[in-house]
Structure 1
Amino acid sequence: MPVFTCNDAAFLIDIDDRGEQNKWFSPQFDKSNWMRVAIPGAWDFYSHAFWGYEGIGWYCLEIGGDLVQQDRNHRLQFERVSGYAKVWVNGERVGEHIGGYLPFEYDITSYLHETGTNQVVIRVDNVPRSNWLPGATLIEWIQYGGILRPISFVTSNLCFISDIAIDASPVLGGAKVVCNVEVTNAGGALFDGSILLEIPANDDIYIALVEVTCQAGQKAVCSATIDLPQAQLWTLDSPKLYDLRAELLGLNDEAVDEKQERFGVRTIEVQGTQICLNGQPIIIKGVNRYDEVAGYGPTVPEEVIRADLLKAKQAGVNCIRTHYPLDSLHLNLMDEIGLLLFEEIPLNWWLKPWEIDAEVDEAENNGIIDRAEVALQEMIERGRNHPCIIAWSMCNESGTNKPYGIDAMRRLMRKARELDPTRLVSFVAVGHTAGHQAFVEADMVCINFYYGSVIAPIVYQIDQLEQFAAIATANHLQDTVLEFAGKPVVVTEFGAQALAGIHGDHRYSETLQAAYIESVWQAIRSVEGVQGGILWCWADYYHRSTYAGPWQAPYGAYGVVTVDRQDKESLSVLSRLFNDGIKRELE
């Protein structure tokens, strides 16, 4: 299956939103004076003037007619475009996609020419809307704009393998691998053939063969099971991965298409108040992490991401949490390295949880939750084969203590279980609010605490930590454990800010941040039924320009490393805590 990756494009900013009116998408519109840019990459780095720009930008890229083949299918795959994308090919509207984190694709076969040059025009709009995700216009993290991950031009036969879903379960030292293979027939005739599945393992190749029939212009899903008599589990210390090769064969066994996927054999479940990986209780020792790095934004080279994740793992981190779905590069690396992932719908600060009596506009919020359900399905379909993902989170710090929010969480969690019954589901609540009744249906209670750092009384000196941070956190956790008896509780955020280079016994110093982390982690580990915590956060990050938080700065300084990955005092403390821990026998 030939794949051509687009590496550069012409770009023009559209501050006044005149591009569509003036038909910038037309091949006849002169684009010779547009700015040449490399893709992928956030437009924030095209020049200093673009930093933090929220608005519209247009891209034009070209596909040579020599790449277009008769009786073949051609698709344009977008791994990540920030915000709202509209796509034209040779002046014809192909489609649009809303959402800045997950991949999408279009069949562009009928729009292409075999001679000359084919012009692909993409209008990108990264302006947040209150009725889109994240469900609020108050957004903390910077909204990088543009084409953030690769665009690929994929050529295949008219009938091809479009998706593979793998469910690998350990069985008596081996594994049962259930494969659901989706075939798409973009041709005009019925396809009859078979699918050959192969898994190399234990110096052997285990196979399954299943017949497939797919009507013209339709999709068909075939299921087959491969039993591995011996299988190594995917664990944190030994993250074993297997390769599945699926080959689509015609009636005469001629090769039609091929697709490969990786997977791991592991289980994740809740047993009482414990979270168990492969049947063994684990304590979550996590960090929240945005995917940006200074100088790159969210378009970070693989070697930089790998080094960053390995550094976190060496610090004792076993789990990463995000406020939005990560790209496939991150997922592949976490599969390989052996890191767990809580992945979250980008529904954040929705429905004003801190204003319990705030009026709820049901018509607008119905649309938001509809979009959240679409994002949930896209997130699960993209991530389901990755063993690193252990939990789907429905939102962060939203109005899940209001009747509308409670119903929304129930709806989304039920949908998540329908789509993927093999992983945990929950949502993340604001710690200093009550009434999050949908936790009754969740696999675990996920709650954020910032006693002493954001929630008053504020800690200004180290000798105030025990009273204002540790005791307050422990007391609230004890109440939470009692309220949701029999469920594991995870502190999904806790932390304090520190400005790199400032030391001493005062607020915003590296010294106080390190002491805060140690004090609150000890409080978390002191409460039975609490199965760990996830620090906010691994690295400092840039704020959206319109965000005004308690620290009036263009960045959040909560990291144990800086945004350019320089260590703070707190990293060594976190490493000691997470690698050594507080010795406590799990019951």
Structure 2
Amino acid sequence: MKYIVSTVLLFISICTFANQPLLQNSYLRNGQSLNGRWHYIVDVYETGYYNYRMEPHDGTENPGSSAYFLNKKPQNKTDRVEYDFDAAPTMVVPGDWNSQEEKLFYYEGTVWYKKSFNVENYDASKRYYLHFGAVNYKADVYLNGKKLGVHVGGFTPFNFEMTHLLKEKDNFLIVKVDNKRAADEVPTLSTDWWNYGGITRDVTIYELDDTFIEDYKIQLTKNNNKEVSGYIQLNGENKGNQNVNLSIPELKINKAFITDDEGYVGFEFPVKRLSYWSDTNPKLYEVNISISKDKISDKIGFRTIETKGKEILLNGEKIFLKGISIHEENVMRGGRAWSIEDAKVLLGWAKELGCNYVRLAHYPHNENMIRLADEMGILVWEEIPVYWTIQWTNTETYNKAETQLTELIQRDKNRACSIIWSMANETPTSKERLTFLTNLASAARKLDDTRLISAALEDHGKDEDKNIMIVEDEFAEVVDVLSFNQYYGWYGGKIDNIKNIRWEIDIDKPVIISEFGAGALQGYHADNMTRWSEEFQELLYEETLPTLAKIPGISGITPWTLVDFRSPRRTLIPYQNGWNRKGLISETGNKKKAFYTLQKFYQNIE
């Protein structure tokens, strides 16, 4: 009976603390940063969350003193409290625990974080929101001993209003972070990247008025590059019948709207003399939205992206996407990348390589990457970690995937650089998987009909002729761009036979090779038929690139990958030693020979 009661309470708790609408453009709002050193407690048995009957402390009205989120202190010398955040060690937020503490390098489980803070220029008439760039994977968030909410998903932002619990001084914020992998999660148990745990992106307090601008979308209308359309959504008791102004000063546009009872206004208006954003002209306009008590300024580019037969058209002109795949790791410091400096290093290398396009794999990267790509003129493929062995028939798993997709689109829908939403990577075909991915694609198109839909599919040789490669996947009929990973010469086939490979593709859509490559240990040199040598990787690129260029409808490639990245799957010593070695740059920042092969290929593309 106790188990039933505790389960019901836990269910009520989860429903009560559902995700709140995401604040649009928190990136450019002024806020109070909570980055820095936080105290932490490693809680392998989740003692701070469950009692010895495995009943959650926050599912009861009177949680015991062992509930870590209460931040209890002994009241006298006989009082028993078996934890002390203030005596606990500290680590840096944002950051992962794996790279900061050697004992936690392989750790997967629960770590509690605690930060004490005062509110700068506190104003009791204002509303206060707590915003997280990302926490991997599940975050239970408590302020001053009370639960603010729960977020599931390791790579997307979330926020909670905390006005009702906040004080001017002596606040304490506690976050239970759990990065354990599970079969019903997204991603699931098996991945080919490091499961970095922790509060991995910025934590910020935002002070807002009683009615404020919560969300907006401002983009060119689909199929009409002479018209801007979108919406503005307010939040607050007085959100209805509010005057809203939108201006784009450089274009001499000033528009006035009135919200409906729900605080929403949709709009469309013509634009003239527009300089379209592109990889060669990354033009961003200052866009201002204001109401009586709130104002937001953003930098927005305007462009069209569409397909016509086997071509991808940017602003109506055919474009070839010279790309590279990227994982979100800091190659010098080690660990999860998160800062604008990290983004400058990674995208700077992509530019040096000759790229106008990157695939951000296999999960949403931090907003610094997207904002910087906007400024640099780098087109972007973004995806969610629907990867390999997802539970296709599990409704809750689907909901988690759609939530992550929604949070990604909500965050980046105004970024011109973002041109492709990817639904999945290397997932095995089945009827159930087709339904799962088709529903995701439908959800994406409802949220944003101005970008392209794709997924990294797989190819294989025909039974009667292994030199003829085909893609047999019904999801290819759903996507706008046919993308697939191919590793001929590495995971199968002989490298000296690559020149004889050809593809039969009977679908009239553009083709992007979303992955190809070979592993190489930087600094290891041998003849070009010796696996793991730089020369072998170089030869594979030399043979593969001209072969791919012959594919009918080829519109882009993103070889795997820019930089070596950590993966517990890669155990071969001395070549892998815990790293996926398919990078063109080593984890120490040294370029391999294949880097220059791809660079030369891109230089010669007209």
TM-score normalised to structure 1 length? 0.87
Give unpaired runs (5+ residues) of structure 1: 250-255, 352-360, 460-464
CA deviation string 1:399-456 (max 9, x = no partner): 2x2111112222111221111111110221122385411211211211110011012x
Match of 2:370 in 1: 331
CA separation in 2, counterparts of 1:416 and 1:470?
38
Change (3 A) 1:518 1:241: same
Q: What pairs up with 1:188-587 in 2 under 5 angstroms?
A: 192-201=241-250, 205-212=252-259, 214=261, 219-249=262-292, 256-294=293-331, 295-321=333-359, 322-351=361-390, 363=393, 365-399=394-428, 401-432=429-460, 435-455=472-492, 457=493, 459=494, 465-467=495-497, 469-472=498-501, 475=502, 477=503, 479=504, 481-482=505-506, 484=507, 486-505=508-527, 506-543=530-567, 545=568, 553-581=577-605
**Structure 1 range deviating more: 86-95 or 27-36:** 27-36
Query: Is residue 186 of structure 2 the alignment partner of residue 133 of structure 1?
Result: yes
CA deviation string 1:482-505 (max 9, x = no partner): 2x2x11121111000111011232
The Cα shift of 1:237 comes to: 1.0
> Are the aligned partners of 1:409 and 1:427 in contact in 2 as well (CA < 8 Å)?
no
Change (3 A) 1:170 1:428: closer
Amino acid at match of 2:335: G
> Are the aligned partners of 1:58 and 1:121 in contact in 2 as well (CA < 8 Å)?
yes
CA separation in 1, counterparts of 2:515 and 2:136?
26
Amino acid at match of 1:536: W
CA deviation string 1:351-383 (max 9, x = no partner): 5xxxxxxxxx665x3322221111111111111
Q: What pairs up with 1:35-50 in 2 under 5 angstroms?
A: 35-50=89-104
Amino acid at match of 1:522: P
The Cα shift of 1:273 comes to: 0.6
RMSD of aligned C-alpha atoms?
2.2
**Structure 1 range deviating more: 16-25 or 444-453:** 16-25
Amino acid at match of 1:489: V
> Are the aligned partners of 1:247 and 1:258 in contact in 2 as well (CA < 8 Å)?
yes
- State the SS of the aligned residue for 1:43: coil
Change (3 A) 1:65 1:497: closer
Q: How many residues align?
A: 538
> Are the aligned partners of 1:402 and 1:435 in contact in 2 as well (CA < 8 Å)?
no
Match of 1:354 in 2: none
CA separation in 1, counterparts of 2:551 and 2:457?
19
Match of 1:95 in 2: 149
Match of 1:184 in 2: 235
CA separation in 2, counterparts of 1:307 and 1:63?
32
CA separation in 1, counterparts of 2:275 and 2:120?
46
> Are the aligned partners of 2:518 and 2:582 in contact in 1 as well (CA < 8 Å)?
yes
The Cα shift of 1:169 comes to: 4.8
The Cα shift of 1:296 comes to: 4.2
> Are the aligned partners of 1:169 and 1:265 in contact in 2 as well (CA < 8 Å)?
no
The Cα shift of 1:7 comes to: 2.2
CA separation in 1, counterparts of 2:228 and 2:96?
39
Q: What is the aligned-residue identity percentage? A: 27
Give unpaired runs (5+ residues) of structure 2: 1-28, 51-65, 74-83, 462-470
- State the SS of the aligned residue for 1:111: coil
The Cα shift of 1:281 comes to: 1.1
The Cα shift of 1:191 comes to: 5.4
The Cα shift of 1:175 comes to: 4.2
CA separation in 2, counterparts of 1:162 and 1:369?
26
Amino acid at match of 1:119: F
- State the SS of the aligned residue for 2:558: strand
> Are the aligned partners of 1:315 and 1:579 in contact in 2 as well (CA < 8 Å)?
no
> Are the aligned partners of 1:289 and 1:538 in contact in 2 as well (CA < 8 Å)?
yes
The Cα shift of 1:52 comes to: 3.1
CA separation in 1, counterparts of 2:425 and 2:180?
20
CA separation in 2, counterparts of 1:210 and 1:25?
45
> Are the aligned partners of 2:33 and 2:203 in contact in 1 as well (CA < 8 Å)?
yes
